[in-house]
Amino acid sequence: MSRVFITGSADGLGKMAAQLLVKDGHKVVLHARNERRGKDALAAVPGAEAVVVGDLSSIDETKQVAEEVNKLGKFDAVIHNAGVGYQEPRRITTVDALPHVFAVNSLAPYILTCLISRPQRLIYISSGLHRQGDVSLHDLTWSNRAWNGYRAYADSKLHDVILAFAVARRWPDVLSNALEPGWVATKMGGAGAPDSLEEGPKTQVWLATSDDREALLSGKYFYHETQRDFLPSAADETIQEQFLAKCGQLSGVSFPTA
């Protein structure tokens, strides 16, 4: 039996993954951005151990989420599922004056990775669109570029792969992987999404709990429990170190040493 924390588990794939984990007898702690959604999450996942509340678009609240998670004790796995989509028509800024998409999809997973007591497994939800992300890492905050929600989302999903691979390299005692769940009919994906919604949450559950040989690899990219090609630049150590450094500067949180 494993103990798993899942960000963004009030709805969508995060909620579905939590339901699968509880059904399989694992302990699950949920996360929601506010109290109302936290209550909804607990109602939707009977048997969940607890819910942690905090808005991941805020650096301070993300730090508080990490603190609350650590108070609950050790976790075997953390699934970084929380994310926002590509339909923001303008540069929506957070309380920290960062683009909303970058703050939630890119910076929050970095902060939580740094501050939550190190689990045995880390899983980062990416997207096939990461292959269209900007590997230069220039202007992460979109301060000088004309806003493009689609590109900002693609960038953020590339960041998740870069982070997963950087963690795998920096922390060899942790299994750290990224995955794409497919384009599925969640609130983010839309009703016309072509991939299987039923299959959408299964790979993250598998990576979090399975003893299958493939699930015990690290620094890999998966789709439906199978390794899939990724943008090669994500495996570049120089790019990984640049990303960690930039996130450290923006958040005030340094990446822990091994």
* 183 found inside a domain: yes
| The pair of three-digit structure tokens given for residue 104, joined into one six-digit string | 């939630």
Is residue 258 assigned to a domain? no
Give the total number of structural domains in the chain. 1
Average pLDDT over residues 10-31: 97
CATH code: domain of residue 29: 3.40.50.720
Q: Is 86 a catalytic residue?
A: no
In a domain, 257, yes or no: no
Give domain status of residue 180, yes or no: yes
Name the amino acid, one letter, at 227.
Q
In a domain, 111, yes or no: yes
Of 157, 221, 223, 246, the catalytic one is: 157
Q: Count the neighbouring beta carbons within 10 Å of the beta carbon of residue 6.
A: 32
Q: Give the tens place of pLDDT for each residue, 205-237.
A: 999 999 999 999 999 999 999 999 999 999 999
Q: Comparing C-alpha atoms, which of 69, 23, 30, 64 is closest to residue 50?
A: 30
- Residue 110 annotated among the catalytic residues of the structure: no
pLDDT > 50? residue 118: yes
Domain assignment of residue 7, yes or no = yes
| Within a domain: 148 | yes
Containing structural domain, residue 15? 3-251
> What confidence score (pLDDT) does residue 85 get?
85
User: Structure pTM?
Assistant: 0.95
Is 44 part of any domain? yes
Identify the active-site residue in 124, 153, 221, 223. Answer: 153
- How many CB atoms lie under 10 A from the CB of residue 33? 20
DSSP per-residue letters across 126-171: --GGGGGS-TT-TTTT-SSSPP-HHHHHHHHHHHHHHHHHHHHHH-
